[in-house]
């Protein structure tokens, strides 16, 4: 799951440091919004599109990731058309296309672990503020560990309640689930202390 959206390949984009790619997104966003007008947005989109063949990401996979976003952007284009004019509508749509495609490319060419490492490095540098890379990586690992545990607890509680003849109350399900999870968390905390 941790690399669900990543596409393994060896491209220049894959090799760029994760931190650099991560920093590029806000810069691109700032540029696109600071320089309005559809021609700028179109140039931006063209540049990002040009990266696609360099990235080693099959266009089909990229398109699949973009599909939900494209639907929204289509809606946005029509809405804009209604309230403003074609130029503004096209500008907004192209801007978001460029930005979302760039962000998606980053996600598909960078391992989650590399991004997390980049964040940890950042945290290390900012250690004086109280940010701790060890705590960050522990919290991330725990979250991934808890997802299946949670699923299992929900399943067990749901079963227990079905056995008592009541199937459908969300509150009656959520309370015992949370009680069990909090107890689990208390013991996990103890276990971590015992191991560190």
Angle (CA) 176 137 121, round 5°:
155
Two tokens, residue 55: 């990235």
Q: Of residues 103, 122, 124, 128, which one binds other proteins by CB under 8 A?
A: 103
Question: To the nearest whole angstrom, how small is the minimum distance from the Cβ of residue 144 to other proteins?
Answer: 5
Given a contact cutoff of 8 angstroms between Cβ atoms, the answer to whether 172 and 166 are in contact is yes
Q: Of residues 73, 90, 94, 123, which one binds other proteins by CB under 8 A?
A: 73
Ranges within 31-60 binding other proteins (CB under 8 A): none
Which residues fall within 8 angstroms of residue 32, CB to CB, at 6 or more apart? 40, 41, 44, 95, 98, 99
CA distance 80 to 83: 5
CA distance 40 to 192: 52
- Window of 35-43, 53-61, 121-129, 130-138 that interacts with other proteins by CB under 8 A: 130-138
Q: Of residues 23, 35, 47, 72, which one binds other proteins by CB under 8 A?
A: 72
Question: To the nearest whole angstrom, how small is the minimum distance from the Cβ of residue 140 to other proteins?
Answer: 7
Instruction: Draw the binding track, 145-174, toward other proteins (x: CB under 8 A; -: no contact).
Output: xxxxxxxx-x-xx-xxxxxxxx---xxx-x
């Amino acid at each position: 799951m941790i690399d669900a959206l990543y596409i393994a390949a060896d491209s220049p984009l894959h090799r760029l440091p994760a931190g650099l790619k991560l920093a590029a997104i806000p810069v691109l966003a700032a540029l696109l919004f600071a320089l309005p007008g559809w021609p700028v947005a179109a140039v931006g989109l063209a540049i990002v599109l040009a990266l696609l063949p360099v990235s080693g990401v099959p266009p089909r996979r990229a398109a699949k990731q973009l599909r939900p976003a494209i639907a929204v952007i289509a809606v946005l284009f029509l809405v804009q058309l209604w309230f403003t004019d074609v130029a503004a509508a096209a500008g907004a749509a192209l801007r978001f296309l460029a930005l979302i495609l760039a962000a998606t490319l980053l996600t598909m060419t960078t391992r989650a672990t590399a991004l997390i490492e980049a964040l940890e490095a950042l945290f290390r540098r900012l250690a004086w503020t109280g940010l701790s890379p060890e705590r960050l990586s522990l919290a991330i690992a725990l979250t991934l560990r808890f997802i299946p545990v949670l699923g299992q607890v929900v399943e067990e509680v749901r079963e227990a309640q079905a056995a008592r003849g009541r199937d459908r109350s969300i509150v009656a399900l959520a309370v015992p689930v949370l009680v069990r999870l909090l107890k689990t968390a208390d013991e996990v905390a103890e276990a971590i202390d015992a191991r560190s």
